[in-house]
Amino acid sequence: MNEPAVHVENLSKRYQLGLTHADSLTDLAAGLTRKLKSILPGRQHTDRPTDEQPNSKQHEFWAVRDVNFDVQPGEVFGIIGRNGAGKSTLLKLISRVTSPTTGRIDLNGRVASLLEVGTGFHPDLTGRENIYMNATLLGMTRREVNQKFDEIIEFAGVGKFLETQVKRYSSGMRVRLGFAVAAHLEPEILIVDEVLTVGDAEFQNKCLGKMKSVATGGRTVLFVSHNMGAIRSLCSRACLMEKGRTAKIGEINDVIGHYLQQQGDQIGAVRKWPEGTTINIGGTPCLRPIRFATYTSNSEPTAVFSTDQAIELRLDFELLRPMAGLRVGILVRNADNVTLFGSNTTLAENLNRQTFQVSCSVPGNLLNRGTYTVDLGVDCVPIHIEAFQDEECIRFDVSDVEGHGITAEPLPGVVRPKLKWKVEEKARL
């Protein structure tokens, strides 16, 4: 088996929070003492972190903790997770922008990284000068840079500003030039963080296409993004980070599915009423609501759907006495509190006392990407009484994981139907 391009073993990064200047000096002295003691005869040295800290004034924060994985040559490896999960810190460690507290990183090849807007650029140098400076840091000769120079400028689209100081560039221009330099100087390992969201949709597509070609050429890409469409399109495997640790590593669809389900559990897509909750109609308890939730068409409970999936809304309830004319309805709103549509059951006649489930299905390829809330209502038509209304009863999320392309930009509008198009030749009139 080939030697991995990236080998990460027991990697951890700890930060100290809330230290005053005096604390820092004290801790520096204490740390030096511990170092000296650790190398005295009869004492065993270890680089493993410990949770016991003698100074109660210290507040530790582990941005990355005990991370292990390998990335093979030519593989595009995705790193996903919520904000603050440790993704960017992990990339900084692998890029050697910062040093780990414990653990090791083995890199088999030259590394280029694009982590933050303007990373690796000197603001007082021109665009041209920064290109050559970055190439030198990567160990490239001037001749090698000259061979790629025109491609870099064309890709970045900053030719008119080549002799301008980078500090006068917009954030989008710095990202375009930074990515162009990193990708075209042919590193064996390319590391890209979420900064591509700064660019416009056209440039994002160019970058994603370039990363594909880099991997096709046998080089390795590590890619952090919140855009599941881009991750799914580019990566064969991924790592899910959670609170600085790896929650899951594996095949791309499994990791994304686990992440989306995890996100859904936190959205609030299940409404359970306390035992004893009843709905009164005409002053009499008639109905006990039990559970309202969203499911896939395969009856799998979830709160996160792709744009092409149907969404099943199901209400479980117990009828406390026989009823006629019972009706259940919903209103679906988007994150801007715009009502998209409403629907209700046909009238239920002569229901006997027992437990029921009423459901409806929102078809796939209807809702655009975003978060939606559902208002639930119950009424009894014969006596014209609205018996029950629960606003924002549940929420669910629609993610563009397949969709119309892989850029971070959603399609405009509150709906996104999948329309049928055809092109045919017509005889000249």
Q: What is the pLDDT of residues 201-222, one digit of tens each?
A: 677 778 878 888 887 888 899 9
CB 10 within 8 A of CB 103: yes
Q: What gap in Å lies between CA 196 and CA 121, rounded to an integer? A: 17
Instruction: Mark out the alpha helices in 98-194 (DSSP H runs).
Output: 127-137, 142-156, 171-184
pLDDT at res. 335: 80
Q: Is the pLDDT of residue 54 over 80?
A: no
The secondary structure of 310-371, three-state, reads CEEEEEEEEECCCECCEEEEEEEECCCCCEEEEEECCCECCECCCEEEEEEEECCCCECCEE
**CB neighbours (10 Å) of residue 142?**
11
> 269-399 maps to which CATH number?
2.70.50.60
The reported pLDDT for the residue numbered 205 is 76
Residue 71 has pLDDT above 90, yes or no: yes
DSSP character for 42? T
185: which DSSP letter?
A: T
Amino acid 197: pLDDT: 60
- In the chain, the percentage of residues whose pLDDT exceeds 90 is 31
Among 16-30, 77-91, 251-265, the least confident range: 16-30
pLDDT at 52: 43
pLDDT surpasses 80 at 195: no
- The helix/strand/coil state of 257 is helix
pLDDT at 264 > cutoff 90: no
What is the arithmetic mean of pLDDT over 91-109?
92
Residue 51: per-residue pLDDT: 43
Asked if residue 32 has pLDDT above 70, the reply is no
Specify the range with the lowest mean pLDDT, choosing from 60-69, 248-257, 302-311, 397-406: 397-406
**Which regions of the chain carry the CATH code 3.40.50.300?**
6-12+62-263
Give residue 369's pLDDT band: very low, low, confident or very high (50, 70, 90): confident
| C-beta of residue 178 within 8 angstroms of C-beta of residue 120 | yes
- The phi, psi pair for 37, rounded to 5°, reads -65, -35
Instruction: Write down the pLDDT at residue 268.
Output: 64
Within the chain, all domains assigned CATH 2.70.50.60 are found at 269-399
Mean pLDDT estimate for the chain: 81
More confident position, 56 or 152: 152
pLDDT score of 30 more than 70: no
- Of residues 135 and 332, more confidence is placed in 332
CATH topology of domain 6-12+62-263: Rossmann fold (3.40.50)
Burial 144-167 (b: 16+ CB within 10 A, else e): ebeebbeebbebbbbeebbeebbe
Q: What is the distance between the alpha carbons of residues 225 and 244, in angstroms, rounded to a whole number?
A: 16
Q: In the chain, what percentage of residues exceed pLDDT 70?
A: 81
Checking if the pLDDT of 291 tops 90, the result is yes
Side chain identity at 163, as an amino acid letter? E
Look at 90 and 305; give whichever has higher pLDDT.
90
Highest mean pLDDT among 31-35, 147-151, 223-227, 397-401: 147-151
